[in-house]
Structure 1
Amino acid sequence: MKLWEGMNDRTRFFINLAIIVLGVYLGFRFILPLILPFIVAYILSWIVRPVTEFLYNKVKIPRIVAGSVSLIALFVLLSVALFYIGNIFIKQAINFFRNIPAYLSILAGKLDNICNSCDEVFGLAAGSVRKVVDEHMLRIVDKVKTDVIPGITTRTFYIVIGAVGFVGILLIIFISAALIIKEVPEIKSKYKNTDIYRDLTKVTARLADAGAAYFRSQLLIMALVAVCITTGLILIKNEYALLLGLGVALLDALPVLGTGMILIPWSIITLINGNIYAAAVLITTYLICQIIREVLEPKLIGSRIGIKPLYTLISMYIGLKLFGVAGFILGPIGLIIIITVIRMQNEKEPMSYTLDKGAKLE
């Protein structure tokens, strides 16, 4: 204790910061997977809270029954939406597989032209490049037959077990959400005057605001990307411009993937086909979409959750390195927790030292 009191504010600040960062990392790594279903249950209970309170206060239905009815209605709406979207994708997939022979025929013709051009450019005998390509294709097919297909077969059992486990988790989430709806008002009234409740409320309130801001920002960026892609496809007179624009915008919202997964190969194919205008429009559309996301994502998310864009970008990168794809969300959340806890500590025990000689952290 005397050692701690003898330290200057700078040393104490960095020790506090290291402890908080380590605690957040360990919490995300080991505790979050254990409590994630209950966090999802709490979020669901928060979503259906207005309907639950209406049924409880106006219709006089018991809170747990009102919550259960609200949750069932939410699950039904989500199931119907997923069924409708899944039905569209299944129909399109069926049409795609039916047309595979035609697509393969077109690709074979294009491949022949490319191989013949390579033979001419490099001065090789006719059919040399095509022979090499065919050999590699046969190796890939053999690899799929010997490794991939048996692997899929052996994993089917584990997939079924995983599906059953997922259904069980959904059941736990539903029951937990119903119990949270019933118990939370009583818990709040019992513990609202305690220090730990006030501290947790500050953190969770900040995270709730940040989460809402994050999803609003992502929806805005997706809308702008969808408009950009749809406009580009209209310019090249694509008959599925709106459908593809919405689909690629949804893909762009997923980490790692993005619009380039679709637009770059598409532009290359159209360029090979000699359609320079369409290729130029597609690559320009891709660049604009990249600028929209790279510029607006840190700006919107950072400004709305109270963190500078640079800090948001750094937290996303660190989260990606530590936790994989989930780190794109966990990184900013961890940064919010760290800043909030530091602020709470400074309110209890003010320190003269900050990261930038008196400048605010955010």
Structure 2
Amino acid sequence: MLNALPKEAEAVDLRLLDALIHEVETVFRGKRETVRLSLAALLARGHLLFEDIPGVGKTTLARALTAALGLEFRRVQFTSDLLPSDVLGVSIYNPRTHEFETRPGPIFTHVVLADEINRAPPRTQSGLLEAMQEGRVTIDERSYDLPRPFLVMATQNPLEQHGTYPLPESQLDRFLMRISIGYPDADEERSVLLQSVGIDDPVERVRPVLDAGMVLALQARVERVHADASIVDDLMAIVHATRAEPRLRAGASTRAAIGLFRAARGYALVDGRDFLAPDDVRRLVVPCLAHRLLPVGASSPTGEAYDEAVAVLEAIMDALPVPL
């Protein structure tokens, strides 16, 4: 039997999530679904990988979403000379006290933007693994808990590969979703152009709608989103079909299935519901599974491999009936 839901989780009005999305849209225009997916990942205690060309608003989205959530935000520019200690922190000897003191790195925040993560060497990339999986980091054999809630939003450019270190499968698997923002439509881009005339930073006008305690309460509430057995069976059918698909070297793992289930429940909550609809799972299949699959013939998770994985997943969903 499930434990009772904390009273503070029940007290959070789900209509605040719609208000939050509206607040983010005041500066990040024309991409409501991207905002919804990002919020669903946070509520599902996951992390986001944005693979897109520069200049489409990834940083703006991260800053605006963090401001509307009432959380702390830091941005780390990943470069080839970035060390793990530059992200996690370092222990320094203090000659006055004759003791080592820990100076926490920029990862000690609620939302961290790892900009161009694939430009950092593998050693630095792997430094994020414990933080993303366990919510803590280890500095000189001592573990430190990160603030809660904690979200990593990483970006990488799919076109420019010179001087980059592609994320290995183990690192990609730590991201709950991979999302591409794309270009805005003509009307929204016109609004962005007109808004950019001013010298003020529009993100600074975003007002907080939630706070850290409310976000934690909503994360707890995600676990109580009801899932009908037929929807769970549909999710499992999709996952098992990837394992039997001859065009894939390996199918979706159990961790991938759990991530898809959590993300779908978070998406339902963002939609203002405490129950899963069949379309919730289907909508999250590609963002949650495609970056975890490697087609036959692909030696690394390139953009072409991702596109082929998307095509395979869409074919699998077309072949399986949607539960009623």
Structure number with greater CO (CA < 8 Å, separation at least 6) is 2
When you count helix as a share of all residues, which structure comes out higher? 1
Q: TM-score, normalised by structure 1?
A: 0.24
Q: TM-score, normalised by structure 2?
A: 0.26
Instruction: Tell me which structure has the larger Cα radius of gyration.
Output: 1
